[in-house]
Amino acid sequence: MNSTAFDYIFKSTLGRFSYPEFIVGTLQKLPWVAPNEDHSQQLAKLARRAWSIQRQLDTTNETSHAFVLPALLRAKLGDWNPDALKVELQQIQADIDAIAFDLYGFSPEDREAVARLNTAVPDAETPEED
């Protein structure tokens, strides 16, 4: 469910692609494709690695339960590259998306259309104020 493919299907069902709107029962109506054992293992491995990376990033976030040190102090310990971790997270998301697109049967043209749509209408975390 944390894939671009599923997000697109969900938003298509809602009929909107900007600020998310949740309607009771929508999630239950969506198609569910059960991954085979190989895909399931790949997704589990990617999810665990993404969780681990995000937890590492959260060690410098003072509002996180994983907080350890402020970023400036953490950087002094060495071996701390949040930009590289974020790039790895993006790659993991791309790998998850590729698996989900395959599972849902998206063609290369469909994938490009979804990518264009996501570029044209970014998700909003809060509604726009008038």
Rounded to an integer, what distance in angstroms lies between the CA atom of residue 58 and that of residue 77?
16
> Domain limits at 86?
4-120
- Is residue 127 assigned to a domain? no
Cα atoms in the 13 Å half-sphere on the side-chain side of 116:
6
Would residue 101 count as lying in a domain? yes
Tell me, yes or no, whether 106 lies in a domain: yes
Report if residue 129 sits inside a domain: no
Distance CA 47, CA 93 (A): 9
Q: Does some domain include residue 9?
A: yes
pTM here is: 0.82
Total domains, the chain: 1
Half-sphere CA count of 124, side-chain side, radius 13 A: 12
What is residue 20's predicted lDDT score, i.e. its pLDDT? 63
pLDDT of residue 125: 46
The predicted pLDDT at position 3 comes to 94
